[in-house]
Amino acid sequence: MTLWQILVSYSLLVAASLSLITYWITKKFVLKKMKRTIMKAEHNYQQQIATLQMQLSGKVNVLEGMVEKLRLSNQELNRLNEIRAKFMSIVAHDLRQPLSSIQGFTSVLMMDNPQGGGNNDQEALNNILKATDNMNMLMADLMDISMIESGRFKMDAQPFNFNALLHDVITLQAVNAQKKGIFLQKCEYPAEVTVVADRFRISQVINNLIGNAIKFSPEGGCVEARFYVLDGMLKFKVTDNGPGLLHSEKSKIFQKFHQSDNDRNLKKQGWGLGLSIAQEIVHAHGGEIGVESAGLGQGSVFWFSIPQDPSRDMAAQTDLHPAQNNESDTKTIPAA
């Protein structure tokens, strides 16, 4: 064996020895230290999990307590709502009887002595009748809201002539329009339209929309009522040149007890229930109701649409031309 071979063999032996020593040191110290580090990290992790579980348990208990309080609050709120609904129903029902008596006796006095004891007496009797009429309308609104909230607000759908209904409403509302100097226009529909709906409730909606338009329009203004039938849906619109609405008001105008503050010079009347009741009536017929306005001072367009005949297949409906295409059929009822 040469010297070179001896040196190579010796070098390999030394390298192998160093490898064995390194492996033993690594296994003995480094791996042991890593194991201790891992065990410590695992212990810390378990402690953190235990802490988080305790915190979560505490928050769950707090949440359960809040849920229980909310449940009790909802029970109390439901109880108070029931009391309020009963109170409204009782008040509206019990007040209507004495109001009817006052109205009846006042009418008798006016018939017995048409001239009264003088001009002041006659004016006082007229004011009593107006006040009782207004109170009766307010009580009727309260009764309707009470029926709505109690689930007893039912519709009696029967076929009727919508043209005739609108004529009757316009005839009654023309008196109020003339008193304010408002031009009340009715756009005649070219054909008779039969609608299957609750005639009384639909007339209530139309009276509310036209009455509001007259009330909020300025003296000398114009209110226009029109309707048309398209794809089996009857759509009715009332256009006025009143104070108009802000965009933010559109989402609130049909809420119960909401009254717009846009016209501060107009004395507030009623409960702010008319449009809310109208919305319930239209929805009960499977229809929609809404308002359009370009802004303050731009007037408003209130509208509603209902199925002409809910029992008929809408796909089989024959489209009719809108009434707005028949401007020559416009009928104007001017103020006196």
The whole-model pTM stands at: 0.60
Give me 87's structure tokens.
Answer: 């109170």
- Across all residues in the chain, what is the average pLDDT? 78
Residue 161's beta-bridge partner residues?
Answer: 194
Report pLDDT for 88: 67
109-113, 180-184, 322-326: which has the minimum mean pLDDT? Answer: 322-326
Confidence band of 296 (pLDDT split at 50, 70, 90): confident
Can you give 228-247 as a three-state secondary structure string?
EEECCEEEEEEEECCCCCCH
Report pLDDT for 12: 78
pLDDT digit string, tens, across residues 113-166: 655 555 567 777 777 777 777 677 767 777 777 677 767 778 888 999 999 999
Mean per-residue pLDDT, 18-27: 75
Confidence band of 32 (pLDDT split at 50, 70, 90): confident
Mean per-residue pLDDT, 66-84: 84
Q: Give the C-alpha separation, 50 to 60, whole Å.
A: 15
Q: Are the C-beta atoms of residues 205 and 281 closer than 8 Å to each other?
A: yes
Confidence band of 11 (pLDDT split at 50, 70, 90): confident
To the nearest 10 degrees (0 to 180), the angle between helices 274-284 and 199-216 is 150
Q: Are the C-beta atoms of residues 310 and 196 closer than 8 Å to each other?
A: yes
Q: Give the C-alpha separation, 182 to 298, whole Å.
A: 17
Q: Give the C-alpha separation, 220 to 289, whole Å.
A: 27
Q: Are the C-beta atoms of residues 225 and 187 closer than 8 Å to each other?
A: yes
Q: Give the C-alpha separation, 101 to 118, whole Å.
A: 23
Report pLDDT for 318: 40
Report pLDDT for 128: 77
Closest alpha carbon to 183 in 192, 173, 191: 173
